[in-house]
Amino acid sequence: MLTSTWNILCESAIFILAGFLVAGFLEVALSGDWFIRFVSENRTRSVFLATLIGVPLPLCSCGVLPAAMALQRRGASKGATLSFLISTPETSVTSILLTYSLMGPLLAIFRPFAACVTALTTGLVENAFQQRAPAQDLQEAEDETAACCASCCGGSAGEDVEDSASAPLARLRGAMRYAFVDLFDDIFGWVLIGVLAAAAIQAFLPPDVVGRYLGGPLQSMLLMVVIGVPLYVCAESSTPIAAVLLAQGMNPGAALVFLLVGPATNIGSVGVLRERLGKRTVVVYLTTIIVVAIVMGVVLNLILSGSGVHLGTRALCEHVVPAWLKVGGAVAFLVLGVGSAWRLRWVPRLATWIGAKLRAPLKPPTL
């Protein structure tokens, strides 16, 4: 399993770091609320703009919800709010580069395209069903989720960037701090979980089991829906898991369904949306995501069957990314991860937990 973990890190770490770097500069360029005025109209255009704005926006996983609630509270239609809520977690620079490194250029292009189709369809369907109703007070949900974001991200880099907007060097420092401190703290744990889960699947799950039980297109897609809807998994951590399942024999359409449904839905966000936007909106939200994800999975299978392209977990050639650069990226990722674990107090908390277990008296066995 250690060998599998290291191989996956070597294939993906350099692209993860590049994604963080791009996200840092995007945070500087897109800081502020300037985009809200573009999605404040209850029209089809607002849905398209909310989707496009959400694709590159470097928001942390738990920061997507308060941003979407802020859009709705400031006048955005429910359709635009849902589009933003879907396109942002399903796509990011880091996840696109990670998809390219593990599953090749075709899926790296088709994945964000499918995510945009999902977000656009959900927003347009919601606007079609939307009825006039009194505006609800969303401040409480925004404050609660923003507190969650602050606790896991260590704060936002927006204030630092705003205060030092006049100094290019200070803006550069703000971008780097956001990329490799704030955003890294938010995502590192999930990426590590995804890599470890993928390595465990690769090491311990026999390929014939995946091919036998997850090879069928429809049943495997439905299974990915059942797993992905309640699961809290970000776009980055879902990518290596999907890549290994794909290499073990699962059809590409099912892998795409997991990549679309997993990051876009989880039990926590569904609960907040039900309370703040209503039951009907939640039904539209979940139903459209599931249906469009399965449709896009079928389309991907048809494209691949017609083209003869094979997707695998080793899409890069040695001359494209040299071995020394892959190893250096993996080492740098682990070094940054150690710093992130210390900032998040993983080490002190683990030491405290181990000490408490060692000091706890042994309980006599019950007869």
DSSP 34: G
Q: Are 275 and 61 in contact (CB under 8 A)?
A: no
Q: Which two tokens stand for residue 96?
A: 């696109």
How far apart, in whole angstroms, are the C-alpha atoms of residue 237 and residue 8?
12
Instruction: Provide the token pair at 280.
Output: 């009907």
Q: Is the pLDDT of residue 296 over 90?
A: yes
What is the rounded CA–CA span in Å between residue 15 and residue 320? Answer: 12
How far is it, in rounded angstroms, from Cα 190 to Cα 194?
6
Of 70-79, 91-100, 257-266, where does mean pLDDT reach its minimum?
70-79
101 in Cβ contact with 15 (< 8 Å):
yes
pLDDT over 80 at 83, yes or no? yes
What tens digit of pLDDT does each residue of 181-216 get?
887 887 787 778 767 876 776 677 666 666 666 656
Residue 154: predicted pLDDT: 44
Q: Give the mean pLDDT of the chain.
A: 74
Cα(151)–Cα(252) distance, integer angstroms = 36
Distances (CA, A) of 281 to 38, 179, 204, 223, 274: 22, 34, 41, 24, 7
Whether the pLDDT of residue 78 is over 80: the answer is yes
Q: Which among 36, 92, 23, 34 has a CA at the least distance from the CA of 68?
A: 36
Residue environment code for 2-25, b if the CB has 16+ CB neighbours within 10 A, otherwise e: eebbebbbbbbbbbbbbbbbbbbb
* pLDDT for 165: 45
DSSP secondary structure letter of residue 157:
S
What percent of the chain has a predicted confidence (pLDDT) above 70? 68
Distance in angstroms (rounded) separating the CA atoms of residues 267 and 229: 8
Residue 217 has a pLDDT of 76
Give the containing element (helix H, strand E) for 22: helix 2-30
How confident is the model over 137-180, as pLDDT tens digits? 444 444 444 444 444 444 444 444 444 445 778 888 888 888 88
Identify which has the larger pLDDT, 28 or 252.
Answer: 252
pLDDT at 129 over 60: yes
